[in-house]
Structure 1
Amino acid sequence: MSNKLVGSSYDTVVVGAGNAALCSAIAAKLQGANVLVVERAPKEKSGGNSYFTDGAIRTAYGHLKNIRQIIPEITDKEAENTIMPEYDTEDFYDDMMRVTEGKSDPELANQLVGKSLETILWMREQGVEFELNKGNQSFVNDDKRVFWGGLPLKTKKKGIGLMGYLLQRSNELGIDIVYDTRAIELVKENDKITGVVVEQTGEKVKINCSSVVLANGSFEANKEMRKKYIGEEWAEARVRGTEYNTGDGIEMALSVGAQKYGEWSGCHSIGTDYNVPKVGDFNKPGDIFKKHSYPLSIMLNKEGKRFVDEGADLRNYTYAKYGKEILKQKDNVAYQIYDTNTRPLLREEYNLEEATCVQADTLEELVGKLPVEKEQFLQTIKEYNEAVQEGKFNPSIKDGKNTEGITPPKTNWAVKIEEGPFYAFPVTCGITFSFGGVHTDKEGRVLDMDNKPISGLFAAGEMIGGIFYGNYPGGSGLISGAVFGKLAGTSAGKYVQNKEEISS
């Protein structure tokens, strides 16, 4: 369709064009709604944060035979040589509650977990292709591929592939999409949403509709909102994904009476390459700057001191909260240190040309190349090596190989850093999305201050508050977007049908 909107009218308008938004649009269309997707970004920068993901997506898959339904290309021989621990709804829910310290809204968490597998299968029906997450979630042991961490699934071709599949399906279904179009205001009449106002080339245009799905992300790309709600230091955080997630949808919802919900002072953040761009580079997508092998490292700040237990848990359950710990350090930087024994075990992103690395044959030479307190840096490594206890190192499980007598301890994967060459990877904090949003029910309907649905208003993805607090299990953001995107779109489509039935 033409990108120009003049006097347009639709059943459902979806704001945003990422994973949650397109799942919403597809689901609403499948309910019979006439759907328009409104995307603030230009076409070449569309896809939201989903475009930048590495595609890992968490689901309560149960056991390998369900994974084979999702990926039928897995051969019998490959299945025989695959060890994949069972991971059911109870495991997923327990992980959610463990990492959020029991704060996740039980109704929303149960919906996310309970609908995760059927949503993956639905995505596959819509043309999304998946593959095993071998590189980052498994090790080969005795000729068997051993998966760990409840995250064996990813979308083919990462986030680029995911958005390509969803966009192709949207086009097949005849869903209209306009770009360079910023939604700025909801129209509410007689306590019902009746339209949305957008800006196109500096002009305001009203689109008439019966329902709106807000799925245009959180406020992580809004520097002032980060400072206001998360903390002054967050002005310095790098934005890992799209520059267009500035809280527009949240502000629009609040302006018509939506209820704030969730941890507005919290966010998903990670340790990322120190030389990462300030906002996501659409020419270098795929989450290539992250540095997630830190459980095998020790991580020191410029003062030469450790500040977290790198081996507290499997990477999937700590990476989303350790970014803010790096942000607290002087100059917002830390250094992951490895020796020649651990270097071959590092994830694929450490081998890319974009990875910043300092290498030396001795620790003294390595530290001499870093802008750090050199004596303390070497002393910390020495004390760490002396604190490492005996035990069998196994990176695929929490091996209990730990330290004693130092603070913070290293609870698992404590191996000495003593054999050169040595490697230092400088990292800083990258923010992914903020945890605060609006309150919805489990079907994606936006709730007002009295916990009642605002007629015609739905939300999905990072806009929903109350799911993540402080941390999250890896891959949960992508599945949350898909689950609540499908639910919100389905609800919006049914809402339109019910209105038509009532009016007739």
Structure 2
Amino acid sequence: MIDVLVVGGGNAALCAALMAREAGARVLVLESSPREWRGGNSQHTRNLRCMHEAPQDVLIDAYPEEEYWQDLLKVTGGITNERLARIAIRASSSCRDWMRSHGVHFQPPLSGALHVARTNAFFMGGGKALVNAYYRSAESLGVQVRYDVPVADIELQDGRFIAAHIAERVVDGQRLPAERIEARSCVLAAGGFESNREWLREAWGQNERGEWPSDNFLIRGTRFNTGVLLRRMIELGADAIGDPTQAHMVAIDARAPLYDGGICTRIDCVSLGVVVNREGRRFYDEGEDFWPKRYAIWGRLVAQQPGQIGFSIIDRKSVGSFMPPVFPGTKANSLGELARQLELPEAEFVKTVEDYNRACRVGTFDHTALDDCHTEGLSPAKTHWARPIDTPPFYGYPLRPGVTFTYLGLKTNEHAVVHFTGKPSPNLFVAGEMMAGNVLGKGYTAGIGMAIGTAFGRIAGTQAAMAAGYRTHAVTAGHDHANV
């Protein structure tokens, strides 16, 4: 019999599998996707947000625990479990050597890559390289991995995991029979439900304009996160946490593909100009804070606009100051021409930009600092980096909400245990996006998802090995201590 069954194939799942295997357990990983799409949303990541008290290899200066916590507190609006959040924060300071031992390499951030040289460690080769390194390490250690095996049901007995059920399916034209896989313990790390269009519709409903907002959402990540297992666990009585409409939702290029657009579809010039809706009107402060701390609110902001679309507008002065997106912007030599090309109401759009230009109070522009360039007498205000948009050519980028992962998940504790009406399961654990809502009630800050997945993936794998009868080292609260 398998000792530890890991359901999922992304960062958190692989961290769990590696930790359980290092403890001596026989481990099987079930990945719902084909091999070429393995890794879930982790294949699209770039970095890990890391606490550090002093400069560390690829990280400059210091990013102490309290500052990290305050950053998280600000983006979540206080909707977070401080105990679990601090576990992830502390673990982020010490996990990189373990990651390196499994083949992950880090590099300094590229010039102009967000403003995170102090806070985030970038993966050499990005998330795909990280995922591949973990799979290579897992397989070399004897972890079994199976692809194209979506788990449809979990068999429980009084909160104890008994077996996973795989439905009959067709793979490469071949019909495969249903299966039942028993294990002594199990880690659930199968992601959220962002690729389930029906569930998104159910969660978001209709707005006052009669629109179904989620119909216009694009999915930045994997198409395989349909939430089947998450919904089944909730049906089976597992304690849930989180708002189903809350998600890591970014404003991305409206021309991006429906699935797997990844990082390159993000539009990073929002704070350098203005954003208007399809009526040609601004609707939020583009300069509220540094882009890495605010980029993840813009998907939701665009989702609240008519038609769930917006347009990021800049002029020539801003070119070269942001990471260029994969698609070029619409270019025009006048504001009126740009409005016509973007099919915006010309008079309203031109008035919006001219009103903004008149309101700009330009001091010392510095996009690497919270500068003194702001607007006066304008609503909404732009509180930093406000410069007139008056130097042709002008550029416009269409924006849609891009969902990375949803925050509805399973409630857990410092041991990554699944609970049923408050009672912890003796052998069922959860990690990654399936429990990230414990820490992320709303909002996001760059690299925090990987910190949560790495911390709780390692905890879940360790605890699952212990539940299967293996003596190991528990990983909790960011520190290792022996369990005997």
2:448 to 466, 470, 476: 476
Question: Offset of 1:231 from its aligned partner?
Answer: 3.8
Match of 2:330, as an amino acid?
V
Matched residue of 2:150: which SS? strand
Does 1:427 pair with 2:399? yes
1:389 aligns with 2:357: no
Structure 2 SS opposite 1:177: strand
Distance 1:470 1:191 in 2: 29
Gaps of 5+ in 2: 170-175, 207-212, 473-484
Which deviates more, 194-203 or 331-340? 194-203
Aligned pair partner of 1:185 in 153, 157, 162: 153
Give how far 1:331 is off: 2.3
Residue 257 (structure 1) aligned with residue 248 (structure 2): no
1:155 and 2:146 correspond: no
Structure 1 residue 155: Cα displacement: 0.8
Alignment correspondent of 1:5: none
CA distance in 2: counterparts of 1:136 and 1:35, whole angstroms: 41
Taking the aligned partners of 2:303 and 2:67, their CA distance within structure 1 comes to 31
Offset at residue 227 of structure 1 (A): 1.9
**CA distance, structure 2, for counterparts of residue 486 and residue 19 of structure 1:** 10
CA distance in 2, matches of 1:200, 1:213: 22
| 4+ residue segments displaced more than 6 Å | none
Tell me the residue number matched to 1:335.
311
Confirm whether residue 275 of structure 1 aligns to residue 255 of structure 2: yes
Task: Please say if residues 181 and 200 of structure 1, whose CA atoms lie closer than 8 Å, have aligned partners that are also in contact.
Answer: no
1:462 to 406, 409, 433: 433
**TM-score in terms of structure 2 length:** 0.91
| SS of 2:358 mapped into structure 1 | helix
Query: 1:220 and 2:188 equivalent?
Result: no
CA distance in 2, matches of 1:148, 1:190: 46
Residue 61 of structure 2 corresponds to residue 32 of structure 1: no
Give 1:311 shift. 0.5
Is 2:53 the partner of 1:62? yes
1:196 aligns with 2:164: yes
Residue 118 of structure 1 deviates from its aligned partner by: 1.4
The separation in 2 between residues aligned to 1:129 and 1:437, in whole angstroms, is: 30
SS of structure 2 residue aligned to 1:318: helix
For 1:191 and 1:216, the matched residues in 2 are separated by: 19
Q: Secondary structure at the match of 1:497?
A: coil
AA matched with 1:58: R
> Is residue 2:135 matched to residue 1:167?
yes
Q: Does 1:418 align with 2:394?
A: no
**Is the CA contact (8 Å cut-off) linking 1:384 and 1:416 kept in structure 2?**
yes
Partner of 2:288 in structure 1? 312
Q: Does 1:97 align with 2:73?
A: yes
Q: Percent of aligned pairs with the same residue?
A: 30
TM-score using structure 1 length: 0.87
Asked if structure 2 preserves the Cα contact closer than 8 Å seen for 1:60 and 1:92, the reply is yes
* Aligned twin of 1:111: 87
- Summarize deviations over 1:179-213 as a string: whole Å, max 9, x none: 11111111223542122111353522111101111
CA contact (8 A) 1:258 1:448 kept: yes
Query: Alpha-carbon deviation of 1:230?
Result: 3.7
CA distance in 2, matches of 1:470, 1:155: 25
Equivalent residue for 2:11, pick from 19, 25, 28? 19
The answer to whether the 8 A contact 1:132-1:152 is kept is no
Report how far residue 292 of structure 1 moved: 2.0
How far apart, CA to CA, are the structure 2 residues paired with 1:230 and 1:457?
30
How many Å separate the matches in 1 of 2:362 and 2:471?
A: 68
2:216 matched to 1:245? no
Alpha carbons of 1:111 and 1:231: their partners in 2 closer, same or farther (altered >3 Å)?
Answer: farther
User: Are the equivalent residues in 2 in contact too, given 1:356–1:426 (CA < 8 A)?
Assistant: no
The separation in 2 between residues aligned to 1:191 and 1:403, in whole angstroms, is 57
CA distance in 2: counterparts of 1:96 and 1:164, whole angstroms: 29
1:133 alignment partner in structure 2:
109
1 CA distance for matches of 2:233 and 2:426?
12
Q: Take 2:255 and 2:372, find their aligned partners in 1: how far apart are those partners?
A: 34
User: Against the structure 1 CA distance between its residues 191 and 304, is the aligned structure 2 distance closer, same or farther, given a 3 Å change threshold?
Assistant: closer
How far apart, in 2, do the equivalents of 1:155 and 1:99 lie?
24
Kindly indicate whether the alpha-carbon contact (under 8 Å) linking 2:194 and 2:200 is maintained by their aligned counterparts in 1. Answer: yes
Is the alpha carbon distance of 1:191 and 1:341 closer, same or farther for their aligned partners in structure 2, counting shifts above 3 Å? closer
Within 2, Cα distance between the matches of 1:498 and 1:482? 21
SS at match of 1:14: strand
The match for 2:339 is: 367
- What is residue 4 of structure 1 aligned with on the other side? none
SS of structure 1 residue aligned to 2:463: helix
SS at match of 2:163: strand
Greater Cα shift, 253-262 or 104-113: 253-262
SS at match of 1:181: coil
Asked if structure 2 preserves the Cα contact closer than 8 Å seen for 1:182 and 1:198, the reply is yes
Report the CA distance between 1:328 and its aligned residue: 2.0
The yes-or-no answer on 1:399 pairing with 2:390 is no
Counterpart contact for 2:374–2:386, Cα < 8 Å: yes
Partner AA of 2:122 in structure 1? K
Q: Which residue of 2 aligns with 1:77?
A: none
Measured after TM superposition, the shift of residue 412 of structure 1 is 0.7
Residue number among 467, 471, 481 corresponding to 1:495 in the alignment: 467
